[in-house]
Amino acid sequence: MAEETEGGTMSQGPREPAAAEKHETDDALRAIAEPRRRKILQLVAREELAAGEIAAAFDITRTAVSQHLTVLKNAGLLAERRDGTRRLYRARAEGLAGLREFLDGMWAGALDAARLLAERDRGAADDDQAASAG
């Protein structure tokens, strides 16, 4: 919905996420739905780790860890770098930013809804007080 601004130019109002952004967010949410993948993200959030170091933190096969790494990488949440024969992984801030934006938007909406409910309840209580006083 376009709105006219002070200078007479047209503004599009609040920006709706593009289909590609929604798809990336969906991929990221599906990827972190699995607890081991969340743990992998926690492990590589602050430092780059080799696949073997990541695998050592789990009681599953290296193949299973490799599959989890692939899902996270395809969702844009991990970056992979090769150093000789080793594969090193780290969290991608850019991939996590879209997810954070989505969650921040949900949280802001929930807070706005709670505020409106509280204001409505307070208004009803004020009306009840006025009716009983009069």
Q: Which residue type does 113 have?
A: A
Q: How confident is the model at residue 62 (pLDDT cuts 50, 70, 90)?
A: very high
Maximum average pLDDT range among 27-31, 65-69, 94-98, 122-126? 65-69
- The predicted model scores a pTM of 0.66
Q: Averaged over 5-13, what is the pLDDT?
A: 45
Indicate if the pLDDT at residue 30 is higher than 80.
yes
Q: What residue spans define the domains of the chain?
A: 17-127
Query: What is the token pair recorded at 120?
Result: 């409505």
CB of 73 closer than 8 Å to CB of 91: no
Indicate if the pLDDT at residue 99 is higher than 60.
yes
CA distance 22 to 43: 26
Q: How confident is the model at residue 37 (pLDDT cuts 50, 70, 90)?
A: very high
CB of 57 closer than 8 Å to CB of 46: no
CB of 88 closer than 8 Å to CB of 47: no
**Domain 17-127: which CATH number of 3.40.1010.10, 1.10.10.10, 3.30.1050.10, 1.10.760.10:** 1.10.10.10
Report residue 10 CA to chain centroid gap: 30
CB of 95 closer than 8 Å to CB of 78: yes
Indicate if the pLDDT at residue 106 is higher than 50.
yes
